[in-house]
Chains A and B, each alone.
Chain A
Amino acid sequence: MQSALDPGGHEAREVASLFWVMLAGAGLVWSAVMGLAVYATRIRPDPHEEKVGHRLILWGGVAFPVVVLAGLLLYGLPLMTTLREPGEGLRIDVSGEQFWFRVTYRPKDGAPVASANEIRMPVGERVEFALTAPDVIHSFWIPSLGGKVDMIPGRENRLVLKAERPGSYRGVCAEFCGASHALMAFTVVAMEKPDFDAWLARQSAPPIEDAGAATGKELFVNNGCGACHRVSGTEAKGEVGPDLTRFGERGTVGAGLLPNTRDNVVRFIRETDALKPRVKMPAYPALSIEDTAAIAAYLGSLK
């Protein structure tokens, strides 16, 4: 699910083949050097003629590395151009924040769609990511889809990725950013293009209200969660924390921290900082388990 050697996209495939070629080359050089060492210590330990030594230095020490390095360079450099072709229309802004990912879809035509900690993208299309960070340096890495790119305060870095195989991939923050850096991950769902288009079209509408979750909604509002969280179509309009409009669709809670089950959401709300050190959300241990479960049910119903 998260391996650069199990590519699910164009960029990762190119990088993986580059790795294998390099590995094979390194293996050959290593074997040759080891072979020489064995030859020089076991097979013919006595000194060679000086001319032979000179020739070995000239060919083995100068010519060979120059040719090998030039070959690798000439093989690797053209990759940089193919890896960086422009996107094909969809742009996704991702902002790395301690310790989660803010996601905004910007389709070519249509209003932006806010989300967090999960990225959906169409298969077979080059998608352009605009990467930023408001606080400290983070890094955006989906090993199965491509190389990593840093998210740097004050800069907008770009990355173009093309998923080739539908499925679910794991992405991570790949630059130490604080106490919960290791608990800062996200899920990438690569979907067939028509499915993705339908999904994105649905996002502009507010989530369907689940009548059974009314208590939870009331508790969510009354406890001030809306000061930091947005749920489209409600009075919760906070921008500090992750958008929860379609939280029920997400596979995890807390930026890849735990599977998104009701129990885990309850735990996350009541013991936030115990689960995620230095998290920017206050824990709510004073909320009763029943109330928290009602909130969790409400959040889980948002689809």
Chain B
Amino acid sequence: MIASTRANLVTLITAPTVWAVHFLVCYVAAATHCAKAMADARVFTGAEWPDITLARFVIAAATVVALAAIALSSRQAWGHWAHGDAEPPYDDATFDDRQQFLGFATILLCGLSFVGVIFVALPALFIGDCR
């Protein structure tokens, strides 16, 4: 995330880190919400299941923030990568090659993380209560 004019290992792992944190937030939000709601309701036959609207909002917000952060990270990485017209592999021991390598790898990881965040959030689209 950390805006940086240069690509480095931190910019490289920003997107996967966002993905991991997003996963944690979603998981904890749903788990704590339902643990509390179920303890309160002690529902069973016939009774309604507590809904998870609140957790769904948290998940939706976390997803928007995470996707935005990943988009920013990829835009920054684009800047590190897309200068000159060199093609991969960037394996010379030069500053430029290192920057291009890191930038390109970051973009790929951003793509993966973007899809990952969406897949993590999808269940909240379908599941509306604590069953």
Interface residues of A (CB under 8 A from B): 62, 66, 69-70, 73-74, 77-78, 80-81, 84, 86-87, 89-91, 108, 128, 130, 158
Q: Name the one of A69, A73, A81 contacting B127, with C-beta atoms under 8 angstroms.
A: A81
Q: Which residues of B contact A77 (CB under 8 A)?
A: 122-123, 125-127
Q: Which residues of B contact A74 (CB under 8 A)?
A: 122
Separation of A108 and B45 alpha carbons in the complex (Å) = 8
Q: Which residues of B contact A73 (CB under 8 A)?
A: 119, 122
Separation of A37 and B7 alpha carbons in the complex (Å) = 37
Query: What are 19 inter-chain pairs, A to B, with CB distance below 8 A?
Result: A62-B111, A66-B115, A70-B115, A74-B122, A77-B122, A77-B126, A80-B123, A80-B126, A81-B127, A84-B131, A86-B45, A86-B46, A86-B47, A90-B45, A91-B44, A108-B45, A128-B44, A128-B45, A158-B44
Q: Enumerate the 4 nearest inter-chain pairs by beta-carbon distance, A residue then B residue, closest first.
A: A84-B131, A77-B126, A91-B45, A78-B126
For A65, the closest partner residue in chain B by CB is B115
Whether B44 lies near A130 (C-beta < 8 A) is yes
B27 at the A/B interface (Cβ < 8 Å)? no
Separation of A140 and B26 alpha carbons in the complex (Å) = 28
Residues 40-77 of chain B, each 1 if its beta carbon lies under 8 Å from chain A, else 0: 00001111010000000000000000000000000000
Q: Which residues of A contact B125 (CB under 8 A)?
A: 77
Q: Which residues of A contact B122 (CB under 8 A)?
A: 73-74, 77
For B48, the closest partner residue in chain A by CB is A86
Q: Which residues of A contact B115 (CB under 8 A)?
A: 66, 70
Separation of A74 and B47 alpha carbons in the complex (Å) = 29
Interface residues of B (CB under 8 A from A): 44-47, 49, 111, 115, 119, 122-123, 125-128, 131
Separation of A70 and B119 alpha carbons in the complex (Å) = 8
Separation of A91 and B128 alpha carbons in the complex (Å) = 23
Whether A69 lies near B49 (C-beta < 8 A) is no
Separation of A90 and B44 alpha carbons in the complex (Å) = 11
Distance to closest chain B CB from A94 (angstroms) = 14
Q: Name the one of A81, A89, A130, A158 contacting B126, with C-beta atoms under 8 angstroms.
A: A81
Distance to closest chain A CB from B63 (angstroms) = 15
Whether A69 lies near B45 (C-beta < 8 A) is no
Q: Name the one of B46, B47, B111, B127 contacting A89, with C-beta atoms under 8 angstroms.
A: B46
Given contacts A90-B45, A91-B45, 14 further A-B contacts (CB under 8 A): A66-B115, A70-B115, A77-B122, A77-B127, A80-B126, A80-B127, A84-B131, A86-B131, A89-B45, A89-B46, A91-B44, A108-B46, A130-B44, A158-B131
Q: Which residues of A contact B127 (CB under 8 A)?
A: 77, 80-81
Q: Which residues of B contact A69 (CB under 8 A)?
A: 119
For B130, the closest partner residue in chain A by CB is A84
Q: Which residues of A contact B111 (CB under 8 A)?
A: 62
Q: Which residues of B contact A78 (CB under 8 A)?
A: 126
Distance to closest chain B CB from A239 (angstroms) = 23
Separation of A168 and B24 alpha carbons in the complex (Å) = 43
Separation of A69 and B119 alpha carbons in the complex (Å) = 9
Separation of A251 and B123 alpha carbons in the complex (Å) = 42
Separation of A73 and B118 alpha carbons in the complex (Å) = 11
Separation of A108 and B44 alpha carbons in the complex (Å) = 11
Distance to closest chain A CB from B53 (angstroms) = 15
Q: Which residues of A contact B119 (CB under 8 A)?
A: 69-70, 73
Q: Which residues of B contact A87 (CB under 8 A)?
A: 45
Separation of A256 and B30 alpha carbons in the complex (Å) = 39
